[in-house]
Amino acid sequence: MKLLVTGGAGFIGSNFIHYWLEKYPTDQIINVDALKYAGNLENLKDVENNPNYSFVKADISKFNELEPVFKSGVDVVVNFAAQTHVDRSLYDPYEFINTNIVGTKNLLELSHRYKVQRFHQISTDEVFGDLALNSKDKFSEKTLLKPSNEYSATKASAEMLVMAYNFTYKLPTTISNCTNNIGPYQYPEKLMPLAITNIMEGKKVPIYGTGKNVRDWLYVKDHCSAIDLILKKGKTGERYMIGSDHEEISNIQLIKKVLKIMKKDGDWMEFVTDRLGHDRKYAVDWSKIKKLGWKPKYKLDDSIRLTVEWYMNNEPWWKKIKSGEFRKHYEKTYGKK
């Protein structure tokens, strides 16, 4: 089988490529990535010489860059390519529109023209908006799309295009909506790697507002195994929620767990002005995919420990990133420190 993985040089995409090549060593993977700020081929150093892996630098928002890849023959498309950081969508929304909406449209059109056997869209639980902090509700496949910001609005728009291609052109599609991921190779603008690397640098961790916003957390390898199952057993035209098996925790609680693992005492949190339209709570009901035979392998504390250990053991990887473009974004978001 030949898979086209878009955004494969990013966090989840690169982990998925590692997962797939290890589990299915005879399959072929074409990694298409524009190598924008969060795309990093160092994430794939150990597979770059694998004869069943190839890389094509291309921007999914540019149709003419994509079509030659499809002409070579593609069985399955897994679309990870997206602009994902909410803060960036507040000051550069058109980049999100181009990648997340136009790019998805291009991939769908080419998948239709070249008769791809399955198109899988990687989405997020953020397309459903948020829940009240004291709510016992959870997002499910039946929850209406209600995005809160321009990032989640573009991801919701992409989902609608996927659904339209499935209905109108009978393109075999599936969608997965996953909760927050943690693990190796995550760009350090996100909360977990930002916290770990800041602490290693002797800096405080910026926490929005009161820090009481609630999330659940999934180790990225569990996300990869869920996608695998959906591609093998998922019903076309359907969506699947992917979530964790722990009680949701606040951002403050998460950072306290990080500090405990890193054996750091004292005050390491710095509360900053809250993000505009900051979602209060996410919670996911993943009982549908559970019926297919999936459940998370990694417990929360193990997921955090493994993530902390990876960043502590790979300081050159993130040190190189936390300069230049990253520094500009950090100062724009949190102010100069």
Report, as residue numbers or ranges, the catalytic residues: 125-126, 151
Residues 6+ apart with CB under 8 A from 178: 122, 123, 124, 125, 218, 223, 226, 241, 242, 243, 284
In angstroms, rounded to a whole number, what is the distance separating the alpha carbons of residues 112 and 2? 16
Read off the tokens for 98. 């181009």
The one-letter amino acid code at 236 reads T
First to last CA, the chain: 49
Of 13, 21, 30, the closest CA to residue 71 belongs to 30
In angstroms, rounded to a whole number, what is the distance separating the alpha carbons of residues 204 and 189? 14
Of 220, 241, 128, the closest CA to residue 177 belongs to 241
In angstroms, rounded to a whole number, what is the distance separating the alpha carbons of residues 11 and 13? 6
In 10 A of CB 121, how many CB atoms?
25
